[in-house]
Amino acid sequence: MTSAPFFLALRYLRPTRSFISVITVISMLGVMLGVGVLVFVMSVFSGWQREFRQMLLGFEPHAIVQPLNTPDDASKADWRALRKALSTRPEVVSAVPVAEGIVVVESEGNLQGVSVIGMSDDNDNLLLQKLRKHLKEGNFDLKGDCIILSDKFARELGAKVGDTLVVHAADSVNQFIKQVREIPEDAEGKKRDEALDNVTVLSKDLTLVATLRADTAGPRGYVPLNIAQEFFNLEGGVSGIELELREPDAAEAVMDAAARSGAIPDTWGWRTWEQQHGAMLESVENQRVMMWFLLLFIMLVASICVMNTTITVTVKKRREIGILTALGTRAWQIISIFVSQAGIVALVGVVAGLAGGFFFLSIRNVLRDQISALTGRDIFPQDIYFLSSIPAHTDPGDLFIICATAVSLCLTAALVPAWFAARVDPAVALRDGG
Amino acid sequence: MISNATLFLARRYLRAKRSFVSVITVISILGVAVGVLMMIVVSSVMKGFEGEFRRVLIGSEPHILLHPQAGKPTSAQEAAAVVAKIKAQPDVLSASAYISGAVYAERDGQQSFIEQIIALPKDDAEFYMQKIAKHGLEGDLALRSGGLICPDYVAAQLDARPGDAISVYASTNVTRAVQRFRVASDEQDEKKRHAAYKDIKLHAREIIMQGTLRAEAAGVYGYTTLETAQQIFDLGAQVSGVLIELHHPDDVKAVAARFATAGIIPTGWTASLWTDVGDARLAAMSNERVMMWIVLLIIAVVAAFSVMNTTITVTTQKRREIGVLTALGTRQSQIIGIFVSQAAFVGALGTLSGLIMSGLVLTFRNDIRAGIAWLSGGGTPDADMFLATIPAQIEPWFILATCLGSIALCLLAALPPAWLAARVDPAVALRD
């Protein structure tokens, strides 16, 4: 392409004392608003999504490798070897044995179930290290007969740090109920006594040594590994190997690769933190896509504005187009004059929009406080979004898509009138006058 | 004043034949229409979701539960006295004593758990069961003595159909039995141990499962009669408190506050409201709706830019005419009126077509979704599913505000170029 179209495009953009420059500036404003709003809203959304993932990663095990069948096979014995093999892999930063299950805690007249993870107190247990950050009260020490619960659950139980709680294995309580029910209550005394002698309820007195903040550390409880093994009837086995990964965001791919490379035996499967919270993560992602779709309409209307401007310009320059065509300028050159003019409008609008978007992002929390003070309503309540300030994270990929969409919509909008303008018969155009 | 002449000229300028002005006018109308369409459709659907959520809560949660603090039971007489006082209040649909508690259920060795049973007097349950009956799936939903209405998942876990007998026992009984058993099994002496076993009983009651409810709309509640619950929970003649249904459940907070100031709530009692469950979520939903509306308002602003562009172009095109008109003695306000009324026409037509389109989109919203699902290869959602259809709630005042706002933006956008055009010196305009 020669520079002639650009030269003319620039000239047409700078007509002194002409109304065309005014409508061009207004079109730029439209593009600017579209880009600015998209950058702002998508950044806040991405930031929120990121914070949400961070929050989950802050307490959820990155991945757990677990036996596929009930732990009655050989897997019970070879978990130590597997743990060793997994911990030497480069993508794994920590591999610890865990025993997961549900326990039932007694409180005044009620039994309340809670899911717990049993784990060791080793220093190389990174899951333990990251959970320590959410400590609310007490000492995060998994030694002896102790349990750690979320502050919310402790409140429901009416328990304080230092209290002793009676904890049962949920399965054994169910088993107990079943067996008590199977023995008819009016059965002969002796028979009933004998039957009940064979029933066991696995229960322990555990000291509540610490509470964790439920809003950042989830509802789960934690107990020492040996206690969990007893509760869940594992006899020295484990229910899984917990892995902390170097790149938890790619947990799915990392685990898939590890499984394919044979690091995980056939009798073991795995699950990641993303699978654990799949529905939530998906709904956040859906909202993001929906938002994208809605905000795209701003851009669409902005490009309509650009189209209007291009129509006006092509009509104003009808005579010139006639002359250019008469002098042998080809149709695509005429088209490129007006399309590149729209391109310049789009580029300036995009740059201004980026500047505006980033400016408002930088003052978002001040803005929130101002709006709250003015309207008296909190527009980002902490109990719903679990964050005290509005997050923001600008993804370069998003940014690129926003800018590319803006520019291509404007170019497409300009193409239609430019094409019509280029088809003008020079004789007609010159005869009609401008 | 807008005279006939002004409107006449505005109409003439709009109908310029074979002119590009009509093309850019049509495009501006399109922009305004898109803005109105998006604002109305998105806000109506979001409002619909909000309303649906409220309706689910109102339709499944008791509007107000009055009960002594810490869940202690109260005597039937005291509850009856409160019921009598409450029923005399104007906003109250009805009220009655209730019992609530958690129970285990069992049938043929299958176990399940009902998080909360709500028990109402057999002869005075109609006012409440009416709203619950909407979520009925199977069986008879009129409370019968010795009968239980339970959520569908409980019935599935028990593999029970209406008419089947199931055993239920209070979760407090289970706790007590477990506690006693633990103490008893620690006893080394066989005689003492066996003596202690005598107290380990779950006190199961045989009741008939008489109907099931759709849990996703009706929640986790099971329903039975007051006397049945008194047997299950071993309460004698006691009850848990008073359940109140209101004519206008949306005003529940004001009503509860009025009860408190009027002294109807006995000391030591507390009120649980249906909003307790979803209050924060509801506030966030309406918040998100307002923010969304603001963001979509930007579409209308950009559309107004387009209108401004059109007005600028038209005023420039008609510069000579404006000069002639001014020279003939037309007042400035009349000139401004020509172009502003032209923009008003664009705004009104755009808003109207946006309104019509949004009406169409909202009417066919489910067909549109089905179409998208079909195109993208997904299946259609099961008609029985909760939120199987996209909800939408239309608020007339809101639509009016959106339409007026959109037209006002167009007028505002046309005003500056019209004003500048009217200030033209006729001599200069005619000479140029």
- Partner B contacted by A196 (CB < 8 A): yes
A229-247 tens-digit pLDDT:
888 878 777 888 888 888 8
- How confident is the model at residue A368, as a pLDDT? 82
Q: Is B156 helix (H, G, I), strand (E, B) or coil?
A: helix
Predicted ipTM of the assembly = 0.76
Residue A142 in contact with residue A223, Cβ under 8 Å? yes
User: Least CB-CB distance to A177: which of B20, B172, B174?
Assistant: B174
How close does chain A come to B58, measured CA to CA in Å? 21
The residue ranking higher by pLDDT, B405 or A16, is B405
* Residues B61-72, mean pLDDT to the nearest whole number: 84
Please provide the average confidence, as pLDDT, over all residues in chain A.
Answer: 82
B130-152 tens-digit pLDDT:
888 888 888 888 888 888 888 88
| Confidence band, pLDDT 50/70/90 cuts, at residue A76 | low
Q: Measured between beta carbons, which residues in chain A are less than 8 angstroms from residue B310? A: 308
Chain-chain contact of A27 with B309 (C-beta, under 8 angstroms): yes
Q: Give the β-pairing of A110-119 and A221-224.
A: parallel
Residue A305 in contact with residue B31, Cβ under 8 Å? yes
Residues 362-381 of A with CB under 8 A from B: 377, 379, 381
CA distance A71 to A75: 6
* Residues B234-248, mean pLDDT to the nearest whole number: 86
pLDDT of B365 over the 60 cut: yes
CA distance B274 to B265: 17
Q: How many CB atoms lie within 10 A of CB B207?
A: 22
* Residues B93-110, mean pLDDT to the nearest whole number: 86
DSSP letters spanning B222-247: EEEEHHHHHHHTT-TT-B-EEEEEES
φ/ψ bin of B203: left (φ > 0), alpha (ψ from -120 to 50), beta (otherwise): left
Q: Measured between beta carbons, which residues in chain A are less than 8 angstroms from residue B31? A: 301, 304-305
B331-345 tens-digit pLDDT:
888 888 888 988 998
Question: Most A CBs within 10 Å: which of B158, B305, B390, as the mutation test of the A interface?
Answer: B305
CA distance B357 to B44: 13
H or E stretch at A210: strand A203-212
| Confidence band, pLDDT 50/70/90 cuts, at residue B368 | confident
Q: Measured between beta carbons, which residues in chain B are less than 8 angstroms from residue A111? A: 171, 174-175, 178
- How confident is the model at residue B1, as a pLDDT? 46
* Alpha helix positions (H), B364-395: 365-375
Chain B: residue whose CA lies nearest to A104: B175
Q: Which of A277-281, B101-105, B262-266 has the highest mean pLDDT?
A: B101-105
Q: And the tokens for B280?
A: 């924060």
CA distance A370 to A361: 14
Phi and psi at B104, nearest 5°, equal -95, 145
pLDDT of A262 over the 60 cut: yes
CA distance B354 to B429: 38
Chain-chain contact of A178 with B171 (C-beta, under 8 angstroms): no
How close does chain A come to B219, measured CA to CA in Å? 19
Identify the burial level of B152 via C-beta atoms within 10 angstroms of its C-beta, where 0-12 means exposed, 13-18 middle and 19 or more buried: middle
Low-confidence winner among B3-12, B134-143, B414-423 (lowest mean pLDDT): B3-12
Token pair 């810490």: residue: B70
CA distance A159 to A149: 10
Q: Measured between beta carbons, which residues in chain B are less than 8 angstroms from residue A309? A: 309
Q: How many CB atoms lie within 10 A of CB B182?
A: 15
Q: Give the β-pairing of A164-169 and A92-107.
A: antiparallel
- How confident is the model at residue B385, as a pLDDT? 47
Whether the model pTM is above 0.80: no
Handedness of CA A83, A87, A91, A93 (dihedral sign): positive
Residue A169 in contact with residue A99, Cβ under 8 Å? no
Chain B: residue whose CA lies nearest to A23: B309
